[in-house]
Structure 1
């Protein structure tokens, strides 16, 4: 089978139109169309349904697209390993983590990484859905539980606990709660329990809302919870790592906290020797160590 035709087919399938694929491949629309027709003739099948809104893969086209997608991932892996055989740390690194950890902890620290490795290109995917690392949906993941996928290198980074925090001005105006029942006199800010989150955090929120807090604000991510706390809306349920960058926030009711939530870094076994992976992993470990010192100082 002609590799060039498969490459063009894959581009058309991804783009959904001959014109868009041609722009990507720097080919004319007619040249792309000829290659697709020739591929369909060689396979004696129709690969696309053609209509006014563009192209849609047929069942046979879907099968072929699955195969070309797998080929592309393998080629990307091979290219990455070839590039990583050099000493320089450069090129694209696709990192996935949760919205909370990514926005509140990771992104604020990335300037240090770029300063050290200016040719690094990070594609950061912040979402609660667990991406498939063996299928190369991402190169590296930082998750709040141990990954269950096979053929991964896993490293436990640290643990996180959900705790209660508020701003000094808020506490001065509304009073500092001395016991859990005092939360009934405050507004509770938390993720809503319908949001995808660590079970330990969800259990803590459920136990707090069961106390009958009259006023609440629920948000579907921790960034929103943090903004509510910073603007004096109430007492927020937040991961302890936020204190490293917001030392002005005060912890309240220290006897209330979630169970430990493990934090894992993982990447495919085939990328074990990738210099980009190693550089990013070491950077995260160094920054976590610095954050741990800040948390210890805040607790003392």
Structure 2
């Protein structure tokens, strides 16, 4: 009697539609349809529809919904491995082609923090537009670290030096974190002169700063305060609250430019560098190179006025 060997369970094959791979990976990585839609620049309903179509084609459920988000099902783990392999190969090809691209036209994605993008970067892009009218700069704002290897951005302005050997980083500026208040607030409550004085003032808390070890001094100020009047994860919202005289908060020293705020003479001893970061495989492409060179030159032009230690910090260094 001839027996048929048992079938080995094989992962369903996702090959066939690259868009399906992108949608599947986005949900797997972000844990939700809404976050995946944001990443893919589409609608949440579109993401859901594409995932349902993929599940019908593969004949398997791909995600389980939990309280904390969407999780890949055991049956889909093999699909995830295939998708990640496809993404790795595709982005490698894309990076290589971007590095060979000689076209001075198309989109260049620049990642930057909310405050730096609004206060400094965007106002300076008009000259780039005049020089290279066919280049469209897409400014991606947020504190999240986008992956340049997978082309989530073409270059990034970061406050830390990357560790990956494939990333090229140039230090383009420096700033210290300073305490700011609006004139109307100072008129009513005064301007604090010493760190201990902050215990008597209203505080606007930019909560995302507490995840940074360098911000420990400010975290301690917030923890000691008995009058935190607002908490927000948005630097823009924190800035607007301070401008509306809600209280004091901490911002990069370059915030004194263009904002009607007054810097308190208190040294938190928090100094940070600004790095312009690109990927070694893509930064040779003509339009990406043009944007890198332009932004780097603008940093150089504005370094003394915008991106150097504040007067209070310099005075403290001289005194020491």
- The verdict on a shared fold, with TM-score over 0.5 as the criterion, is yes
The answer for the alignment partner of 1:292 in structure 2 is: 303
The answer for the alignment partner of 1:260 in structure 2 is: 271
Residues 182, 243 of structure 2: 8 Å contact kept: yes
Offset of residue 164 of structure 1? 0.8
Matches within 5 A, 1:15-54: 15=23, 48-49=58-59
Matches within 5 A, 1:1-300: 8-15=16-23, 48-49=58-59, 58-84=76-102, 86=103, 89-192=104-207, 195=209, 198-200=212-214, 202-246=215-259, 248-252=260-264, 254-295=265-306, 299=311
C-alpha spacing 1:178/1:131, structure 2 compared with 1 (3 Å): closer
- Give the alignment's TM-score, normalised by structure 2: 0.68
Offset of residue 263 of structure 1? 1.5
- 1:161 is paired with a residue whose SS is strand
C-alpha spacing 1:149/1:235, structure 2 compared with 1 (3 Å): same
Offset of residue 258 of structure 1? 3.5
Count residues with an aligned counterpart: 258
Offset of residue 8 of structure 1? 4.2
- Give the alignment's TM-score, normalised by structure 1: 0.72
Offset of residue 226 of structure 1? 0.9
TM-superposition CA deviations, 1:184-225 (whole Å, max 9, x none): 332122312x5565432x212123235534343222132121
- 2:245 is paired with a residue whose SS is coil
Q: Distance in 2 between matches of 1:94 and 1:8?
A: 28
C-alpha spacing 1:228/1:117, structure 2 compared with 1 (3 Å): same
Q: Distance in 2 between matches of 1:294 and 1:173?
A: 30
Q: Distance in 2 between matches of 1:68 and 1:210?
A: 47
C-alpha RMSD of the superposition: 3.3
Offset of residue 165 of structure 1? 0.9
